[in-house]
Amino acid sequence: MPRVYVSLIQSDFGRSPHGNFEAVIVQGEQLWHWSRDNSDVHLPWIRGRRVTGERDDVVGPGCIIQSAPSAGR
């Protein structure tokens, strides 16, 4: 059985008060960012940018976090 590596958060980005779902998913030997706008349940997941480089091979799961940068730090 193939392994599925996913890191999932509910961010505060987007138009909905619920925020968007953001995921980092291993596909083949690459790591990709996916997101879903939660303002409408019918909207699909959208594949964003590749996280890994052209010559990088993924050997395990990725991780996604959200932070709020502070001024002066």
Task: Examine the pLDDT at 1 and tell me if it is beyond 50.
Answer: no
Q: How many separate domains does the chain show?
A: 1
Q: What are the structure tokens assigned to 52, written together?
A: 């890994």
Task: Examine the pLDDT at 9 and tell me if it is beyond 70.
Answer: yes
| pLDDT value at residue 73 | 55
pLDDT-based confidence at 12, cuts 50/70/90?
Answer: confident
Please report whether residue 73 resides in a domain.
Answer: no
Domain span holding position 60: 1-65
pLDDT digits (tens, 9 = 90+) for 48-70: 999 999 899 888 888 888 887 76
pLDDT digits (tens, 9 = 90+) for 14-44: 666 778 999 999 988 899 999 999 888 899 9
CA–CA dist 25, 40 (Å, integer): 22
Q: What are the structure tokens assigned to 38, written together?
A: 């939660």
